Homo-oligomer: A and B are copies of this chain.
Amino acid sequence: MSWLPSERVLSIQSHVVFGYVGGKAAVFPLQCLGYDVDVVNTVNFSNHAGYGRSGGTKTSADELRQIFEAMEQNELLRPARILTGYIPGGEALSAVKELVAKLKHQKPTIMYLLDPVMGDAGRLYVSPDVVPVYRAMLPLATIITPNWFEVEVLTEIKLKDLSSLQKALEILHTRYQVPNVVISSIPLTPWLWSALPPSIRPENEKSHLICLASSLPTPQVPSSSTSVVHAQCVPLFPGYFSGVGDLFSSLLLAHFHPDEHPQNLTANCLSEAASQALTKTHAILQITHGQALTLPEDERLPSDDELDKAEPLRRTRRMRGRELALIRGQDILRGVNIRSLREMRIWRDFWATQ
């Protein structure tokens, strides 16, 4: 595999013993794609929170600083790329912020993908004190990958129509100086469905998610609000899968190569990377979904809190059957036998549409 890059990625996110979220979802794909990954664990838990119970501890800000300091003394802080994900508290996040700021100061071309993992579907699952720290970190990022809810939290804009989406993106690009924003897994609401250009709009708004990439044409001067927007819709699998965002972000970072095509617009490199990440993530979900279907019927139905309360292990077994099939699907991660790309398409009139 002579095409393999040999860059280092510094990944800072959660660790779980069982299953695939955080680092367990992100590190293996990066390694398969040829990256040496420096792996910092912000928590050490038995399993993800979806199981209801978990054991283990969070890494304190002091412990993180000790690790970073030893690495600095040993000249081991040499990443070409940084990836940060789940960091549950403001103090620990501040330690990460200091590190990223220092690395970026030493090497301004360092590529930083910031996934501001805070919550989903209207609910925060980190301490609220991380929110201002993430806002302060945004100007350090090359790419951010918030979900729908995280865009709302960061920008304090309720996304209810195209104009509020435009406003939120403008805030991220101009106030927070983020050159590249990728929002994956956006629910395809009726207003979004009708706003989409025909080349992107699926026949049926239900059972689809949309991925949107917005990129400033000249990231060196991030002052323009008229970004280049690409989008693509993917069919939705029923029920919730954990770690999907972590997998998507790692693949997006792995496939983003603006330096290899300097003649290309960054927006095109970003949409190419998002196409790869979307295609591979969707293919992994397809295998995972197929695996979940082999569960007994009462364990594979979507969440049902009442039944879960009566029989807590029902929830656990459902979760277990829905862990991402990263190992079984590793050929997908490597790009073997991928028949067709879910290609991101340009949304030409995004900023013109009201």
Residue ranges of A at the interface with B (Cβ–Cβ < 8 Å): 1, 4, 6, 15, 17-19, 24, 28, 31-32, 34-36, 38-41, 44-47, 51-57, 59, 63, 66-71, 73-76, 313, 316-317, 320, 327-328, 330-331
Contacts and interface: CB of A to CB of B under 8 A. Distances in A.
Contact of A46 (B15, B76, B330): B76
Q: How many copies of the polypeptide does the oligomer hold?
A: 2
A330 B5 CA distance: 13
A1 B329 CA distance: 9
A70 to B, nearest CB: 3
Nearest to A65: B55
Contact of A327 (B15, B35, B74, B320): B35
Given A55-B71, A76-B320, 6 more contacts: A15-B15, A46-B70, A47-B70, A47-B74, A55-B66, A75-B320
Nearest to A73: B53
A39 B27 CA distance: 13
B41 A327 contact: no
A10 to B, nearest CB: 8
B57 A71 contact: no
A18 B67 CA distance: 10
Nearest to A60: B57
A63 B44 contact: yes
A6 B320 contact: no
A316 B76 CA distance: 9
Contacts of A52: 74
B74 A53 contact: yes
A6 B66 contact: no
A68 B44 CA distance: 12
Contacts of A35: 327
Contact of A328 (B4, B18, B19): B4
